[in-house]
Amino acid sequence: MKKYWLCIEPSVFIWKDNDRILLYNSYNYEKMLQARHSSIDNLIDALIEPSNFFSVLFSDADTKCEEFKEFVEKIVGNRMGHILPFEKNDGKPITIPPHYVFPQEIKRLKEKKIELYDGNMLDNLQSVTMQITGECSLSCSSCDLFHKQINHCSKLKDELPLEAIKAIVFKLSLTNIRKINIIGGDIFRHTDFSKVIDVLDDIAPVKIFHSHFKFVNKCTTQLLLRDDSNILLKILVEPLDIWLEDICLLLDELHEFNNRLIWAFALTSEDSLKNFEHLVNRYKISNYEYHVLFNGHNMDFIIERCFLNEDEIWQSELGMKDVFANQILNKIFFGKLMIYANGLIYDDQNEPPIGTIHDNMEKMLYGLMWNEGAWLRIRRNVPCRGCVNRFLCPPPSRLESLLRRNTICNIITNTD
Amino acid sequence: MPNIQIKKELIEKYFKRVNHLVIETSEICNLSCLYCGQGKNYVKTDSHKKKKHMDWHTVKPLLDYYISLWHSGTIGLKRFFMLSFYGGEPLLNFELIDNVHQYIERNKPADFLVYYSITTNGMLLDRYIEYFVHHNYTIAVSLDGDKISNSFRVDKSGTESFDTLYHILINIKERYPDFFDRKVSFQSVLNSRSNLIDVYAFFKEMFNKEPLLLEMSKSRLSLKSDIYAMYRGIDEDLEISWKTRKEECVKFSLKNLDTSYLDFYIKTYTPHFILRYPDFFQEFDNVTIKLPTATCLPFSDRVFLTVGGLILPCEKVGCVSPLGYVINGEIDIDFQKIVDFYNEIFNKYQKLCETCIRTMSCTNCFYDINYLAKKNICPDYVPNSQKDKYIQRALEILRRTPEIFKKIINSID
C-alpha cells in the first residue's frame, strides 16, 4: 500500500470549531472552509499537533473515503499544502507551524507565576489623548456617546489646570509616544489656551488638536497651527442637513490650510453618509476620516454599516504577524490612554478609570497589562471563543464596549 | 539600509529612567585571583583612578540626582531602584556602603522602594553579615565550586581562599538559614580546573543552590595573558557534559544545546519570535530596530560609577571610553558625544551584522569585539552562505526530538 506525506505550508493557520475547519494562508490571504467530517477529524487533529510539523502520513486506503480525498485535493488545489511520496529512507518533512513564541507575554508570565516583566512598560505607550477642558457652549445631543467611540469632544465641568498639563507633558516627554491628541469640550475655552500651545510646542510628538467645526475659523486655525508642521488640526463634523451650509463655508474658508487639517466625519445615518460623500467629492477633500457612530437611536444604521458578515471578515488580509497580534493584543486599544479634564485616566472610556494624573504611570500601565485590560482584550469570550474566524476578525472595538456586546458580527456561531 | 542615528534624547531618557546604579565601592581586593579582570592578565584601563576607595564626594552627586528625580514623580521611573555595591572587594570600604545606605533611606520618598545588593568574595562577610541581614541585602558571593574548582582564587600570599570562605558560608547558613536561602546567591567562573557538573553538584549538595555561571572575559587581555590556559567555555563544557554525563545533566536541569539551537533558529529564521509588545506596531521603529551587535544602549539597563568617578554603561566594559564623569561634585555627561560614539561604532558594524545569520541571536557587546579584533571582525560571525547548514541542523534536531518544539512553544506559548 502506497503512503504519502500531506505537508501544509508554513504560512497556513488551521482553526476549527464544532462544525467547520478554516485554513487561512497568511502569505496570499486565501481561505478554505471545510465542513467537519469524522473521516477528516483525525487528519486535522494530527495537523494541528505541533510536534507533527505540519506533515501527516496517509495511505491509498485513506483516499477511498470521498470526503478525505476531496479535502486533501482541496488543500493541494488551494496551494495550502502539497503531497510527497513516502520514502522509507527519507526523513520526515519538517515545516514549522505558525505558533508565536513570545517569552515576555504577560499571560505566559502569569501562568509561570513570574511577576517581573522584562521590559519597560512605558515603551508600550503610543499615544495619549488629553481633554484639556470639558467646558463647551454647544448642546450636541450625542457627544456623550461619541467620545466613548472615538477621540471626540465631550462635556464635563472640569478643566485641566495649566500646571497639571505642564506636568503631564513633561512626563510624556520622557516616553516614546508619537502622538498627543488634545480635545475639549471647546479647547479654545481653556483659561490658558495660548500657554497650553506653548507648553506643547516644546515636545517632539505630533500634536493633534480636535475641535468641533463650530469653533473653527481662519483666525483660530492660524493661532493653532503656527508654523509648526508637527501640529495638526482635526475638525469634527457631523454632516447633518442643518449644518451643511456652515460646513461648506468653513471648507471654503480653510482651503489654504488643507495639508494641516484632518476632517473627521461622524456618520450617524444614511443621510449623513450621503452628505459626507457629497462634501468629499465637491471639495476634493483628501485628508479625511469617517466614523460610523452610535448616537443612541440609530441601531439599524449601526447594524447595517458596522456589523460584519462572514464574507466581510474574509476580506481581511492579515499577514502572520497580524494574526499573532490578534491572538495577543488589541490593536485598537493597545498603547493608547485617555486623560480626562477631571484627571481620570482610561484605557477604555466605557470602563472604569485605571488611575489618575497623580498616579505613577509605570505602575498604572503595569496594572493595566497585568489585569489584561483593554490593551490585551482579544476575542476570547462567547460567542467569539471557538469561532473559526475569531483571529481574522477585527479586535473587539469601542463600539462593542459601549454596547456591552462581545461581538458585532452577524454570524450565528455554534460555539461552546 | 540607512545609517543608524540614535538620538541623544533617547540616551538622556535612559539615564533618567534607569533603575539600577552600580557603585564601584573599592578598586582594591583582599584576594589576588589569578584570572581577575583587574590583575596582570588584563590591560588596565582606568587612567583616572588615583584613589583606592570610592569617596563620598564622588558618589553623592549621583545619589542626589536620582533622589530628586524620585521626588519629581517623573513618568518614566520604575517603581523601584536597585543599588549595587561592586569591587574590587566592596567590603573593604564598608563605611561608604553604610553612608550610601543611610543617605538613601533618609532622603528617598517614603513609598519608593530601594533594593540593595552586594557582590563580594565573601572573605569579610562574617564581619558584616548582621548588617546585611538586618537591611535585607541581596548578596552574590564569588565562589567557583569545590576546593579544586576554586583554586585560582587565592589571597595575596598565594594561599587558596576556599577553606576560609567555606567556613564563613557554613557559619552564616547555620546562623541565618532563612536569609541564606532567600538572599545569598553564588557566582562561579568556569575555569580549566572546574566543570559544569562538578560545580552544580557542589552547590546543590553544600548549599542547595544553583550558581550563576560566568566565563572569564576575553576582552582587554594583556600581551602576556595566561587567561587562555585557565579559560573554559560554558557552551563547550555543556556539549561535552551532555555527551559524557547525560544523567547528571538531566538531574541538574542543565540547558540542552539542542533547545538553545532551536531557540536561535526560531529567532533567526522564522517570523514567530516576538520580543516585545511594540514589535506589532511599525510606528515604534526606533524601539524595535535591530541594532548591530548585541550591545545595550547606554544606561538602558544600569549606570556604573567607578572609584575614579567615571560613568560607564556597566561594570563589564572597561574604562577606555567613559560616558561621563562625576567631577568636583558635578555630573558631567555629554549625551551628544555618547550618541556620536555609539552611532559611529554601530555604523561600522552594520554591514557585518547585516550579512551575519546570527544577528538576531547575537550576544556580543561591541566593547568586547573591539578589544578582540580591532578591524571590526566579529569572532562569532557566520556569513549568509552558511545558512543552509544551520537550517539543516535545526531540521535534524526537530526530526530527532520533535517534542522540543512543543516544549518551546508550550513553555512560552
Inter-chain touch A120–B17, beta carbons under 8 Å:
yes
Whole-angstrom CA distances from A148 to A144, A338, A398, B373 are 7, 10, 7, 59
Cα B409 versus chain centre, distance: 28
CB A357 within 8 A of CB A341: no
For chain B, which residues make up each domain, given as ranges? Answer: 13-232+297-334, 255-296+335-413
Q: What is the pLDDT of residue A412?
A: 55
Which of these, A185, A231, A236, A176, lies nearest to A208 by C-alpha position? A231
CB neighbours of A257 closer than 8 A, spacing ≥ 6? A221, A225, A233
Cα A398 versus chain centre, distance: 9
Q: Is the peptide bond before A343 cis (omega within 30 degrees of 0)?
A: no
Placement of cell 463600539 in the chain: A399
Instruction: Going residue by residue through chain B, which has 413 residues, state the pLDDT in tens, using 9 for 90 and above.
Output: 557 888 888 899 889 888 899 999 998 999 999 988 777 777 766 655 567 899 999 999 999 999 998 887 654 555 678 999 998 899 999 999 999 999 999 999 887 889 999 999 999 999 999 999 999 999 999 999 999 999 999 999 999 999 999 999 999 999 999 999 999 999 999 999 999 999 999 999 999 999 999 998 777 777 778 888 999 999 889 889 988 998 898 888 787 778 778 877 887 778 888 888 988 886 434 444 578 888 989 998 899 999 999 999 998 887 778 999 999 999 999 999 999 999 988 888 888 888 888 777 787 888 877 654 556 678 788 888 888 888 888 888 888 888 888 777 765 43
Which of these, A369, A373, A371, A389, lies nearest to A326 by C-alpha position? A389
CB A19 within 8 A of CB A392: no
Considering only the C-alpha atoms of chain B, give the largest distance between any 2 of them, rounded to a whole number of Å.
64
Cβ-nearest to A175 among B75, B277, B412: B75
CB neighbours of B398 closer than 8 A, spacing ≥ 6? A53, A94, B262, B404, B405
- In one-letter notation, the amino acid at residue A358 is H
pLDDT category at A198 given cuts 50, 70, 90 is confident
Q: What is the pLDDT of residue B404?
A: 81
DSSP class of residue B160? B
Residues of A in contact with B272 (CB under 8 A): 96, 98-101, 320, 324
End-to-end alpha carbon distance in chain A = 40
Residues of B in contact with A94 (CB under 8 A): 395, 398-399
DSSP secondary structure of A164-179: HHHHHHHHHTTS---E
Q: Is the peptide bond before A383 cis (omega within 30 degrees of 0)?
A: yes
Placement of cell 456586546 in the chain: A405
For residue A349, how many other CB atoms are within 10 A of its CB? 21
Q: What is the pLDDT of residue A1?
A: 80
3-state class percentages of chain A: helix first, strand second, coil last, to nearest 5? 35, 20, 45
Element (H, E) at B120: strand B113-120
d(CA B26, CA B120): 11
End-to-end alpha carbon distance in chain B = 33
Mean pLDDT for the stretch of residues A368-379: 93
CB B325 within 8 A of CB B311: yes
DSSP class of residue A347? S
d(CA A229, CA A261): 11
Residues of A in contact with B398 (CB under 8 A): 53, 94
Residue range B13-232+297-334 in CATH 3.40.50.720: no
CB B131 within 8 A of CB B139: no
pLDDT tens digits along A255-310:
889 889 999 999 999 999 999 999 999 999 989 999 999 999 999 999 999 998 88
Which of these, B10, B44, B344, lies nearest to B220 by C-alpha position? B44
Lowest mean pLDDT of A185-189, A307-311, A372-376, name the range: A307-311
DSSP class of residue B379? T
* pLDDT over 90 at A160, yes or no: yes
Inter-chain touch B413–A102, beta carbons under 8 Å:
yes
d(CA A281, CA A278): 5
Cβ-nearest to B402 among A53, A176, A360: A53
Q: What is the pLDDT of residue B286?
A: 43
Closest-CA residue of A relative to B282 is A126
Q: Which of A51-55, A358-362, B124-128 has the highest mean pLDDT?
A: B124-128
User: What is the pLDDT of chain A when averaged over all its residues?
Assistant: 90
d(CA A120, CA A126): 13
Inter-chain touch B272–A100, beta carbons under 8 Å:
yes
Note which residues in 392-411 of chain B have CB less than 8 A from chain A.
395-396, 398-399, 402-403, 405-406, 408-409
Q: What percent of chain A has pLDDT over 70?
A: 97
Cβ-nearest to A104 among B270, B276, B280: B276
DSSP secondary structure of B256-276: PHHHHHHHHHHHHH-TTB---
For residue A227, how many other CB atoms are within 10 A of its CB? 5
Lowest mean pLDDT of A40-49, A115-124, A214-223, A279-288, name the range: A115-124
Take residue A226 and report the three cell numbers written for it: 503656527
Mean pLDDT for the stretch of residues A71-96: 91
Closest-CA residue of A relative to B405 is A51
Interface test with A, best of B80, B277, B284, B401 (most A CBs within 10 A): B277
A/B interface, count of CB pairs below 8 Å? 122
CB A116 within 8 A of CB A386: no
Interface test with A, best of B72, B82, B272 (most A CBs within 10 A): B272
